[in-house]
């Protein structure tokens, strides 16, 4: 699993560096999602994720405009996160298994449910409230993006 994480980390860093530095926030994560899913296709084909045990890998990437945290977590048991507030812009990519996400609005009619399967992702904005159910034997990649405050005087 560590070798797999190193491959994913290299691909992620390469894809981050390819994106225009002027793109920030959820637009950046949305562009990164499509680039990563395309680039990770070879890893999906070459690796069998079924025998992975619970593990957690974390790395950081930082440039002059933003800070990025990348987590890859494999779950051997089902787990739920209820009423979870997102404190940074977030990109979730399901590498294996399933994720059920319920976006919770201020009104019950504003709630929305999304199911992610292998090689799918979703971009979520800072401040969203969600319920997240991760199925057993799932591997989830979470990419948190935080824009740096650039104090520019005119």
β partners of residue 81: 132
Kindly tell me if the per-residue pLDDT of 26 is higher than 70: yes
Average pLDDT of the segment spanning 32-41: 89
Kindly tell me if the per-residue pLDDT of 39 is higher than 90: no
pLDDT at 20: 87
pLDDT at 13: 87
Query: Which position has the higher pLDDT, 143 or 3?
Result: 143
Average pLDDT of the segment spanning 31-55: 77
pLDDT at 47: 64
Residue 153 inside a domain? The answer is: no
Query: Which position has the higher pLDDT, 54 or 104?
Result: 104
Residue 152 inside a domain? The answer is: no
**Least confident segment among 50-59, 75-84, 109-118, 143-152:** 50-59
SS (H, E, C) the chain: CHHHHHHHHHHHHHHHHHCCCCCCHHHHHHHHHHHHHHHCHHHHHHCCHHHCCCEEEEEEEECCCEEEEEEEEEECCCEEEEEEECCCEEEEEEEECCEEEEEECCCHHHCEEEEECCCEEEEECCCCEEEEEECCCEEEEEEEEEECCCCCCC
Residue 154 inside a domain? The answer is: no
78: CATH: 2.60.120.10
Kindly tell me if the per-residue pLDDT of 154 is higher than 60: no
Residue 12's domain spans which residues?
Answer: 2-147
Average pLDDT over the chain reads: 87
Kindly tell me if the per-residue pLDDT of 43 is higher than 80: no
**Number of domains making up the chain:** 1
């Amino acid at each position: 699993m560590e070798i797999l994480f190193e491959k994913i980390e290299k691909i992620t860093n390469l894809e981050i560096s390819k994106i225009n530095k002027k793109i920030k926030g959820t637009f950046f994560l949305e562009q990164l999602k499509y680039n990563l899913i395309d680039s990770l296709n070879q890893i999906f084909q070459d690796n069998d994720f079924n025998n992975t045990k619970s593990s957690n890998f974390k790395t950081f990437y930082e440039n002059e405009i933003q800070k990025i945290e990348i987590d890859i977590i494999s779950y051997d048991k089902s787990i739920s996160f209820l009423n979870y507030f997102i404190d940074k812009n977030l990109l979730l990519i399901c590498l294996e298994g399933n994720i059920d996400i319920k976006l919770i609005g201020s009104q019950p009619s504003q709630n929305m449910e999304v199911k992610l399967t292998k090689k799918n992702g979703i971009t979520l904005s800072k401040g969203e409230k969600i319920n997240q159910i991760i199925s057993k034997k799932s591997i989830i990649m979470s990419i948190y993006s935080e824009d740096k405050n650039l104090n520019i005087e005119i």
